[in-house]
Amino acid sequence: MAGIFAIGVAIGLIVLVLAYPNLPSLEVLTDYRPKIPLHIYTADGYLIGEFGEERRAFVHIQNVPDVMKQAILSAEDDRFYQHGGIDYFGILRAAGANLLGGGKRQGASTITQQVARNFFLTGEKTYTRKLYEALLSFKIENNLSKDQIFELYINQIFLGQRAYGFAAAAQIYFGKPLKDISIAEAAMLAGLPKAPSAYNPIVNPKRAKLRQQYVLRRMHELGFITTAQYEAAVNEPLILKRELGDYAVHAEYAAEMARQLAAERFPDDVYTRGMQVYTTLLKDEQEAAYASLRKGVMDYDRRHGYRGAESYLDLTDLHSDQDEAIDEALQDIADTGDLIPALVLAADNKQIRAYRKGGETLTLSGDAMKFAAKMLDDKAPPNKRVKRGAIIRLQKDDKGAWQISQLPEVESAFVAVTPNDGAIRALVGGFDFNRNKFNHVTQAWRQPGSSFKPFIYSASLEKGYTPSSVIADEPIVIPSSQTGAQAWEPHNYDGKYEGPMKMRTALAKSKNMVSIRILQSIGTQYAQDYTGRFGFDPEKHPPYLTMALGAGSVTPWQMVTAYSVFANGGFRIKPYIVSEIRDEKNQVLARSAEVQAGDESIRAIDARNAFMMDSMLRDVTIFGTAARASVTLKRQDLAGKTGTTNEYVDAWFCGYQMTVAGCAWIGFDQPKKLGDKETGGAAALPIWIGYMSRALKDVPVQLPTMPDGLVAHGEGRDRTLVYAENAAKEQPAEEEGAATPPPKPELDKPPSD
Residue-by-residue DSSP string for 328-363:
HHHTTS--BTTBEEEEEEEE-SSEEEEEETTS-EEE
User: Per the residue annotation, which of 292, 450, 615, 630 is the catalytic one?
Assistant: 450
- Based on the domain organization, do 499 and 395 belong to the same domain? no
Write the DSSP symbol of residue 121. Answer: -
Q: Stretch 103-116: mean pLDDT, rounded? A: 71
Among 461, 467, 502, CA closest to 738: 502
The shares of helix, strand and coil residues in the chain, as percent rounded to the nearest 5, are 40, 15, 45
* 373 inside domain: yes
Range from 237-241, 401-405, 430-434, 672-676 carrying the lowest mean pLDDT: 237-241
- Based on the domain organization, do 424 and 457 belong to the same domain? yes
Query: What is the model's pLDDT at position 56?
Result: 83
The residue type at 734: E
- Based on the domain organization, do 72 and 138 belong to the same domain? yes
pLDDT at 575 over 90: yes
pLDDT at 648 over 60: yes
SS3 category, 43? coil
Among 148, 187, 145, CA closest to 166: 187
The residue type at 471: I
CATH number at residue 230: 1.10.3810.10
Among 61, 203, 211, CA closest to 145: 61
How many other CB atoms are there within 10 angstroms of residue 106's CB atom?
Answer: 11
Domain that holds residue 312: 307-405
Range from 415-429, 599-613, 735-749 carrying the lowest mean pLDDT: 735-749
Alpha carbon separation from 602 to 4, 461, 532, 534 (Å, rounded): 90, 20, 13, 11
Range from 79-88, 379-388, 682-691 carrying the lowest mean pLDDT: 79-88
Pick the residue with more confidence: 269 or 26?
269
pLDDT in tens, 253-307: 999 999 999 999 999 889 998 999 999 999 999 999 999 999 999 999 999 999 9
How far apart (Å, rounded) are the C-alpha atoms in residues 38 and 263?
10
* pTM for this model (two decimals): 0.84
Query: What is the model's pLDDT at position 296?
Result: 98
Q: What is the dihedral angle through the alpha carbons of 509, 511, 515, 518, rounded to the nearest 10 degrees? A: -90
How far apart (Å, rounded) are the C-alpha atoms in residues 617 and 407?
35
Query: What is the model's pLDDT at position 657?
Result: 98
| 170, 49 contact by CB (below 8 A) | no
- Based on the domain organization, do 463 and 568 belong to the same domain? yes
* 181 inside domain: yes
* 79 inside domain: yes
Range from 9-18, 98-107, 560-569, 742-751 carrying the lowest mean pLDDT: 742-751
End-of-domain residue from the set 388, 405, 422: 405
Alpha carbon separation from 622 to 154, 461, 634, 700 (Å, rounded): 60, 22, 10, 18
Q: Stretch 499-522: mean pLDDT, rounded? A: 96
CATH number at residue 584: 3.40.710.10
Count of domains for the chain: 3
Alpha carbon separation from 464 to 163, 418, 467, 512, 537 (Å, rounded): 65, 31, 10, 20, 25
* 571 inside domain: yes
pLDDT at 730 over 90: no
pLDDT at 119 over 60: yes
| 625, 508 contact by CB (below 8 A) | yes
Catalytic site includes residue 730: no
How far apart (Å, rounded) are the C-alpha atoms in residues 713 and 716?
10
* 103 inside domain: yes
How close are the terminal C-alpha atoms of the chain, in Å?
102
SS3 category, 135? helix
* 247 inside domain: no
pLDDT in tens, 150-189: 999 999 999 988 889 999 999 889 988 999 999 999 999 9
- Based on the domain organization, do 559 and 679 belong to the same domain? yes
Q: Stretch 70-82: mean pLDDT, rounded? A: 93
- Based on the domain organization, do 389 and 420 belong to the same domain? no
Degrees to nearest 5, angle at CA 335 with 334 and 339? 140
- Based on the domain organization, do 541 and 661 belong to the same domain? yes
pLDDT-derived band at 484 (thresholds 50, 70, 90) equals low
Mean pLDDT of the chain: 88
Catalytic site includes residue 630: no
- Based on the domain organization, do 608 and 544 belong to the same domain? yes
Pairing of strands 276-279, 351-356: unpaired
End-of-domain residue from the set 235, 269, 293: 235
| 692, 657 contact by CB (below 8 A) | yes
CB neighbour burial string for 488-501, b if at least 16 within 10 angstroms, e if fewer: bebebbeeebbebb
User: Per the residue annotation, which of 50, 74, 76, 141 is the catalytic one?
Assistant: 76
| Sign, CA torsion 105/109/113/115 | positive
Pairing of strands 424-428, 411-417: antiparallel
R_g over Cα of the chain: 34
* 171 inside domain: yes
- Based on the domain organization, do 428 and 476 belong to the same domain? yes
- Based on the domain organization, do 522 and 621 belong to the same domain? yes
- Based on the domain organization, do 196 and 342 belong to the same domain? no
pLDDT-derived band at 410 (thresholds 50, 70, 90) equals very high
Query: What is the model's pLDDT at position 718?
Result: 66
Query: What is the model's pLDDT at position 727?
Result: 73
- Based on the domain organization, do 386 and 420 belong to the same domain? no
Query: What is the model's pLDDT at position 726?
Result: 79
Among 302, 315, 56, CA closest to 168: 56
Query: What is the model's pLDDT at position 582?
Result: 96
pLDDT at 748 over 70: no
CATH number at residue 376: 2.40.50.140
pLDDT at 24 over 90: no
Alpha carbon separation from 159 to 58, 65, 395, 399 (Å, rounded): 14, 18, 32, 38
pLDDT-derived band at 635 (thresholds 50, 70, 90) equals very high
* 18 inside domain: no
End-of-domain residue from the set 201, 235, 269: 235
The residue type at 518: I
Cα within 13 Å of Cα(639), Cβ side: 29
Q: Stretch 539-548: mean pLDDT, rounded? A: 95
pLDDT at 739 over 60: no
